[in-house]
Amino acid sequence: MISAVSILKASSEFSAEHHLLDSIATIFSDSDAAQTKLTSLMAKRDDFHNKRRRAEAMEQENLSVRDQIRNLTVEYDVCEDVIKKLEREIVEQRSKMALILDEAETLKKTLLSNRSATRAVVDELAGLKGDYVDWSKEIRDSE
């Protein structure tokens, strides 16, 4: 790229000022280098800020995830306690059911025994009825 200083050096009017023009060229060159470095540093700074913002966003997300994990852990612990309570209640209910089944079996045996006893009483009453009829007849006949 042709600079203004190169054009001035080529001009015969400024031939005596080459030293001054070289200094100006150096200043422009240094300024361009500084501007390039500044642009590079600004880009690096922007990149750093972007990365920092992403890191902060990720940290916020991590905090949110930690909160969710904490809440789920609390919920799990509550559910675990409820499950243990329900398991104890199930064991108690099964125990009660076993007692009720035992009692029902005893009542069934008692019922069958009472049926047999009732049949015996009914049979005895039927026999007594027949005897009563015979006794009544004998009493009437004897009168």
Q: How far apart are CA 102 and CA 98, in angstroms?
A: 6
Encode pLDDT of 14-65 as tens digits: 656 667 767 777 887 888 899 999 999 999 999 999 999 999 999 999 999 9
> Are 12 and 37 in contact, with CB atoms under 8 Å apart?
no
Domain boundaries, the chain: 53-143
| Residue 9: CB atoms within 10 Å | 16
> Are 41 and 49 in contact, with CB atoms under 8 Å apart?
no
What is the biggest distance separating any 2 CA atoms in the chain, rounded to whole angstroms? 184
* Residue showing tokens 């009437």: 140
Instruction: Please state the length of the chain.
Output: 143
Mean local confidence (pLDDT), 132-143? 82
pTM of the model: 0.46
Encode pLDDT of 57-109 as tens digits: 999 999 999 999 999 999 999 999 999 999 999 999 999 999 999 999 999 99
